[in-house]
């Protein structure tokens, strides 16, 4: 994997990023093996930060382990678990350890995770966290104090894709103004909706990587519709999975077809498997994505 995601964003290539979850424990062997199959097939690996409010090894530590093995990490950082002091401390530590890509987000509330009694911090929101990264890149902390050495992060943010959610579009505009270098979106199942979304933000000069979560069953599709904000699985896709003799294979085919459509609309895809990456290379092959 050639390191330098920032340069890839400036290229004309269709990019592929994929999600990597640190282990829930100290044994990193399975987590590292899962992403090893992606070597030379993806441009960078997003390292989740206690995804879904479920406690895992820190994204900073696992990002460093990936970096040591020649992968390019995008360290995710949420506002949920740290105040502004802790966020800045982790960012400075990450940069000192060689991590150059960050993706910031608010983070799911702890009530939906495996430590529901824990206290959410949310000292800042994701827009303010982007502002922090911009200030650190300029050589100052959030309070305006000069740093002994500035950072130089390539920083991303996230967005859902509903073009009718006007406030979300406004927030995305703020994220770009605060220095977002790229956007990774919620999972796309309705390509028409995504096309409308891209038209609604056409005035923003920012690369967009569309989220992709391959469906595994009709039950999963219905769950996504009912429980995940910003996701819309069209009825015809649910029906297609219900009629399929092998819903798992059909879901992969749907994801591949979606990817082929997305190559015409945005700069890349961001693959978020439920579970491991055992089927990710098959998805890319079906979608006709060749690697450099």
- Write out the two tokens for 65: 């382990």
Q: Which domains does the chain have, with CATH numbers?
A: 5-159 (3.20.20.220)
pLDDT at 291: 66
- pLDDT, tens digit, for every residue of 102-138? 999 999 899 989 999 999 999 999 999 999 999 999 9
CB atoms inside a 10 Å sphere around CB 60: 20
Looking at residue 275, its pLDDT comes to 86
Say how far apart CA 33 and CA 50 lie, in whole Å: 20
> Please, are residues 20 and 66 in contact by the beta-carbon 8 Å criterion?
yes
**β-pair type (73-78, 268-271):** unpaired
- Tell me the per-residue pLDDT of 36-89, one tens digit each, with 9 for 90 and over: 999 999 999 999 999 989 999 999 999 999 999 999 999 999 999 999 999 999
Identify the pLDDT of residue 230: 80
- pLDDT the model gives residue 3: 62
Per-residue pLDDT tens for 3-29? 699 999 999 899 999 999 999 999 999
What number is the average pLDDT over the span 218-247? 92
Residue 159 in contact with residue 114, Cβ under 8 Å? Answer: no
Mean pLDDT of 156-163: 95
Helix 280-287 / helix 247-262 crossing angle, nearest 10 deg: 50
Nearest to 90 by CA among 133, 143, 139: 133
Residue 1 pLDDT level (bands cut at 50, 70, 90): very low
pLDDT for residue 245: 96
- Beta-bridged to residue 158, according to DSSP, are 184
Condensed to tens digits (0 to 9), the pLDDT of residues 174-232 reads: 999 999 999 999 999 999 999 999 999 999 999 999 999 999 999 999 999 998 878 89
- The set of residues, in sequence order, having a beta carbon less than 8 Å from that of 238 and lying 6+ positions away, is 218, 221, 222, 225
Which is it for strands 208-212 and 182-187: parallel, antiparallel or unpaired?
parallel
Q: Is residue 157 classed as helix, strand or coil in its secondary structure? A: strand
Cβ burial of 164 (10 Å; 0-12, 13-18, 19+) is: exposed
């Amino acid at each position: 994997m050639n390191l330098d995601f920032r340069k890839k964003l400036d290229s004309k290539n269709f990019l592929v990023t994929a999600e990597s979850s640190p282990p829930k424990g100290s044994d990193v062997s399975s987590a590292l093996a899962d992403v090893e199959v992606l070597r030379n097939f993806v441009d960078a690996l997003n390292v989740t930060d206690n995804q879904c409010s479920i406690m895992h090894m820190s994204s900073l530590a696992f990002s460093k382990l990936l970096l040591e093995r020649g992968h390019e990490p995008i360290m995710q950082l949420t506002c949920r678990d740290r105040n502004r002091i802790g966020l800045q401390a982790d960012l400075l530590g990450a940069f000192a350890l060689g991590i150059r890509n960050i993706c910031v987000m608010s983070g799911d509330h702890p009530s939906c995770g495996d430590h529901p009694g824990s206290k959410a911090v949310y000292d800042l929101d994701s827009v303010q966290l982007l502002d922090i990264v911009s200030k650190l890149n300029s050589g100052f902390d959030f309070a305006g104090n000069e740093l002994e050495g500035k950072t130089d992060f390539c920083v991303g943010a996230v967005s859902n894709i509903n073009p009718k959610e006007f406030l979300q579009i406004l927030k995305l505009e703020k994220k770009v103004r605060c220095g977002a270098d790229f956007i990774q979106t919620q999972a796309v199942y309705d390509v028409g909706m995504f096309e409308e979304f891209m038209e609604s933000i056409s005035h923003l000069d920012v690369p967009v990587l569309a989220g992709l979560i391959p469906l595994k069953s009709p039950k999963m599709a219905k769950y996504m519709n009912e429980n995940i904000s910003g996701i819309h699985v069209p009825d015809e896709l649910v029906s297609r999975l219900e009629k399929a003799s092998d819903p798992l294979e059909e879901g992969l085919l749907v994801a591949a077809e979606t990817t082929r459509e997305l190559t015409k609309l945005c700069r890349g895809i961001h693959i978020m498997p439920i579970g491991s990456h055992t089927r990710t290379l098959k998805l890319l092959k079906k979608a006709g994505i060749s690697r450099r």
